Amino acid sequence: MPNAHNDRIASGARNTSGAHNAIATVSLRGTLEEKLKAAADAGFASVEIFENDLIGSALRPAQVRAMMADLGIRCSLYQPFRDFEGMPGPLRQRAMDRAERKFDLMAELDTDRILVCSNCSPHALGERERIVDDLRDLGERAAARGILVGYEALAWGRHVNDHRAAWSIVKEVDHPAIGIILDSFHSLSRRIPSESIREIPGDKIVYVQLADAPLLDMDLLYWSRHFRNLPGQGGLDLPGYVAEILRTGYQGPLSLEIFNDRFRSTASRLVAQDGHRSLEYVRDAARRLLGEPTDIPPPQPPLGAEFVEFTAAGQDAVRLGATFASLGFSEIGRHRTKKVTRWRQGNVNLVINAEPKGFVKSYRIVHGPSICAIGVRVKDAEAVMRRAAALGIRAYSPEGRPGRMAMPALRGVGGSLVYLVEDDGAEALWAREFEARAQPEPGSDAETAARVRDIDHLAAVVHNDEFLSWQLYWRALFGLEGRDANDVIDPSGLVHSQALQSPDGKFRLTLNASDARETLSSRFLAQGMGGGFQHVAITCDDIMATAAETRARGAAMLEIPANYYDDLVARFGFDDAAARHMQQGGVLYDEDGAGNTYRQLYSRAFDKLFFFEFVERGGTYAGYGAPNAGIRLAAQNRFRAPEAVAE
């Protein structure tokens, strides 16, 4: 029966109330001690202690409590308590006895919330009256200890597998110490409408657990145990789900409960940092859906890629300049005070930075001649910087020279930089920083090549443990949207590829990672000592003319086998003459179901580190030539001689 003590329980937990970010220890790699430290360092206010982590720890519960106090965090939930409700005969009493023992343990941890997940035991009875009675009895026991019980519907629960059913039971139990726990995966994996949450009063939601996931068609338990990821790294509508929870008036923690094979082998520090960022991102997105005020500026999708910066010095810089020239670029400017040159073709800017000190030198020492930074055009750079700060993304400032930046810059996931170029000041910036050199004469070879227009997309190769971090970075900061995800067949293994782009398609990225050590992607990581941008795709108006011009200038272009063009004749109905013309240029072809076309032309890689692609999009083709990726990788794999400068 309700009493004053129970009313206090229902009004909020003694040490876990208030909106904040939390994370379940099961989400992180390592010992319980390592997990707690990583969570605290990332800025989490509390943790869910997962039972197996505590059982396997050498620390006693009181010692764990002391360690949390030293770290400035607390335990906001103990979980999971399994196979409780609806048990027959002596199993029911055993379940009640187990609950009392867990309540004792919770007192030592100084936490007052426990997760009871819906029963999966084959012994469990589905009798609703028994389930209600068991939870009401548990509520009385919990209230006597000052504990709040959250009942969660597991997506694979034996009798209760829907949060609507769990809420119906909690409502019938009608006990102040019994509420509901909402878990985004259990709801969204079963496609339960998030609007159904509106029926639940906010003060009856004990706790909220969040996880995103790629959209997969598989057994729910296996999907849950291996493929959950952070908000902003999957395909579930987390902002809409959280918005409905906030609409109820819920004021408690938003917590991450992630089961993911990648995370189990990834540094806990990185996952914890990404996790905190993901919660800030999804909370902000949910508030925007509700029209509520937020202190974080909205995401600004890039208006395009303004430049790609390469670090190279000495003969490497000379060779790189020659490569640019062979691809149709002209050196049109030199920096007024630095060893930096600007190369341009159409609207595409490439920069060679040969500075002998600072960031570019450090990056060059580690990675060799490489893409060290990109510049993106935005409407309001200062607003992007403020959003980045709120998401825990660090600004870059030259050591010893703060305030001397021509444009603001942010640290990227792999160590490279992302410069922010305000759209209405881009040309003035170039004019201010660079001394102009002679422009191409009308009718010249370089002028003819100006049919090249813009950067179509940038592609990065990243370590597996950074694959999801890159996605979160670009989605949370700039509002990029996930597009095609593909598994690409390299002759030496499988490559996972994920496309991201702005809603209008003006800025595109593809991210690639592989478990196989001998794939081209993995060899790039080994050659470049880490992940980063690997290739630059450039839009042109006439790819056949571009192919002829690059070869006439002596550019090292990728050779595509004759068998590929024989197949084009069969698949798309090309006549032999057209196919042979494409073969002479090394041009690849694809088209979508509506007949929109895509043509591609690849250079060979510079020092096995990066390469260029020219693309011609016909109609509304929105992909990246995925059917040709395996052909390109096989062609690149044929150039593996260790003494070769380009592969």
Binding residues for a divalent metal cation: 152, 183, 209, 257
- Helix, strand, or coil (residue 25): helix
17, 43, 46 from 72: Cα distances, Å: 16, 10, 9
Q: Are 207 and 150 in contact (CB under 8 A)?
A: yes
Distance CA 135, CA 118 (A): 11
Positive or negative CA dihedral for 10, 16, 19, 23? Answer: negative
Q: Are 463 and 528 in contact (CB under 8 A)?
A: no
Find, among 640, 600, 646, the residue nearest to 623 by Cα: 600
Distance CA 315, CA 110 (A): 64
Distance CA 415, CA 411 (A): 6
Pair of tokens at residue 358: 């600072």
Q: Which residues are part of a known binding site for Mg(2+)?
A: 457, 535, 613
98, 171, 616 from 81: Cα distances, Å: 9, 20, 58
Find, among 208, 223, 244, 266, the residue nearest to 79 by Cα: 208
Amino acid identity for residue 371 in this structure: I
Q: Are 249 and 228 in contact (CB under 8 A)?
A: no
Q: Are 311 and 78 in contact (CB under 8 A)?
A: no
- For residue 129, count other CB atoms closer than 10 A to its CB: 10
Distance CA 429, CA 424 (A): 10
What does R_g of the chain's alpha carbons equal in angstroms?
A: 28
Cα 453 versus chain centre, distance: 29
HEC string of 61-108 equals HHHHHHHHHHHCCEEEEEEEECCCCCCCHHHHHHHHHHHHHHHHHHHH
Residues forming beta bridges with residue 354, ordered by sequence position: none
- Helix, strand, or coil (residue 645): coil
Distance CA 23, CA 579 (A): 56
Q: What are phi and psi of 495, to 5 degrees?
A: -120, 130
Q: Are 321 and 343 in contact (CB under 8 A)?
A: yes
Amino acid identity for residue 528 in this structure: G
Cα 331 versus chain centre, distance: 36
Distance CA 77, CA 44 (A): 14
Q: Are 619 and 599 in contact (CB under 8 A)?
A: no
Sequence-distant (≥ 6) Cβ neighbours of residue 9 within 8 angstroms = 112, 142, 143, 146, 147, 148, 176, 177
Ranges of H-type helices in 128-211: 128-145, 163-173, 184-188
Tell me: cis bond preceding 2? Omega within 30 of 0 counts.
Answer: no
Q: Are 230 and 468 in contact (CB under 8 A)?
A: yes
